[in-house]
């Protein structure tokens, strides 16, 4: 519970997302707009799912712990489904806007491709999801206190930060893969993304048994990263070409 914890967890959770924003998004106004609108869509999905959860809790009027916990788990899964639904809705909106932009521009091509929009939209979802999960925890970590004084885990802050980082990256990768699946009408891709999201949320239900939740989530993140790379047009050839070109440039310079 010090400034060190605050900065450490802040950089773990938001460092990569911030770097991605600064290097790939900040210079282009259209991408910034798509990012913020993506964040807004995620927010809308969260709002609706909280509404449903709230109504469920008030309707059941539960006092016992197990019923409340199961309602919360229901809320988690419902929220995941709504998020994916809103991702699909955002895809449709972006496609329409893209067509509009292309129609009125000079050379019949729009300023931004669907793949770029997929990446930016995914990052928007990820940043907003991470911010909502992490910022209150970060502001608490600045103040005085002892972590886990009532017997809970000591590693609350750092595991929260790691989980937030994983989810931010996952949302980005899911965005890329999801939009690609929608473009090519591969519905199994979409179903797989939804299932993976449900799986990750389900794994987080194992907290505070961090051994069961964090490593699998990171393995999934890695696999999703590889899948997103290949689905957005990357290949081993590109990678090797990148390395050899760099070597060739270094040799010629």
Burial 66-98 (b: 16+ CB within 10 A, else e): eeeeebeeebbebbbebbbebbeebbeebeebb
234: tokens are 């990357």
The 182-201 contact track toward another protein, x by CB under 8 A, reads ------------------xx
Terminal C-alpha separation, the chain: 50
* Site membership for another protein, residue 49 (CB under 8 A): yes
| In the complex, minimum distance from the CB of residue 59 to another protein, in angstroms, rounded to a whole number | 14
Of 56, 49, 42, nearest to 132 by C-alpha is 42
CA distance 117 to 32: 11
CA distance 166 to 210: 14
Kindly tell me which residue out of 120, 167, 176, 194 binds another protein, with binding defined by CB under 8 A: 167
* Site membership for another protein, residue 18 (CB under 8 A): no
Query: Is the CB of 137 or the CB of 192 nearer to another protein?
Result: 137
* Site membership for another protein, residue 72 (CB under 8 A): yes
Kindly tell me which residue out of 12, 158, 199, 205 binds another protein, with binding defined by CB under 8 A: 205
Max CA distance (Å), the chain: 73
Kindly tell me which residue out of 208, 212, 215, 234 binds another protein, with binding defined by CB under 8 A: 208
Burial 52-61 (b: 16+ CB within 10 A, else e): ebeeeeeeee
* Site membership for another protein, residue 172 (CB under 8 A): no
User: Which among 31-39, 183-191, 221-229, 241-249 is the span making contact with another protein, rule CB under 8 A?
Assistant: 31-39
Kindly tell me which residue out of 10, 12, 32, 62 binds another protein, with binding defined by CB under 8 A: 32
**135: Cα separation from own chain's centroid:** 15
* Residues at the site binding another protein, with contacts judged by CB under 8 A: 29-30, 32-33, 36-37, 39-40, 43, 46-47, 49-51, 53-54, 69, 72-73, 75-76, 79-80, 83, 101, 104-106, 111, 128-129, 131-133, 135-137, 139, 156, 159-160, 163-164, 167, 200-201, 204-205, 207-208
């Amino acid at each position: 519970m010090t400034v060190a914890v605050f900065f450490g967890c802040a950089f773990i959770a938001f460092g990569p997302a911030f770097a991605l924003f600064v290097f790939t998004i900040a210079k282009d106004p259209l991408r910034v707009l798509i990012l913020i609108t993506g964040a807004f869509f995620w927010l809308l999905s969260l709002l609706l799912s909280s509404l449903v959860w709230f109504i469920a809790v008030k309707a059941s009027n539960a006092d016992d712990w197990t019923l409340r916990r199961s309602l919360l788990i229901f809320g988690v899964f419902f929220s995941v489904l709504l998020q994916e639904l809103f991702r699909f809705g955002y895809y449709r909106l972006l496609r329409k806007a893209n067509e509009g932009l292309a129609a009125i521009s000079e050379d019949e091509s729009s300023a931004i491709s669907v793949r770029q929009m997929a990446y930016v939209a995914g990052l928007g979802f990820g940043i907003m999801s991470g911010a909502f999960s992490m910022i209150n925890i970060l502001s608490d970590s600045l103040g005085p206190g002892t972590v886990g004084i009532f017997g809970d885990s000591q590693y609350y802050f750092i595991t929260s930060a790691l989980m937030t980082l994983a989810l931010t990256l996952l949302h980005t990768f899911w965005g890329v893969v999801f939009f690609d699946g929608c473009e090519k009408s591969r519905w199994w891709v979409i179903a797989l993304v939804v299932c993976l999201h449900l799986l990750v949320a389900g794994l987080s239900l194992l907290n505070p048994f961090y051994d069961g939740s964090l490593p699998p989530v990171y393995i999934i993140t890695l696999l999703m990263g590889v899948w997103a790379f290949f689905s957005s047009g990357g290949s081993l050839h590109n990678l090797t070409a990148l390395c050899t070109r760099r070597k060739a440039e270094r040799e010629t310079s």
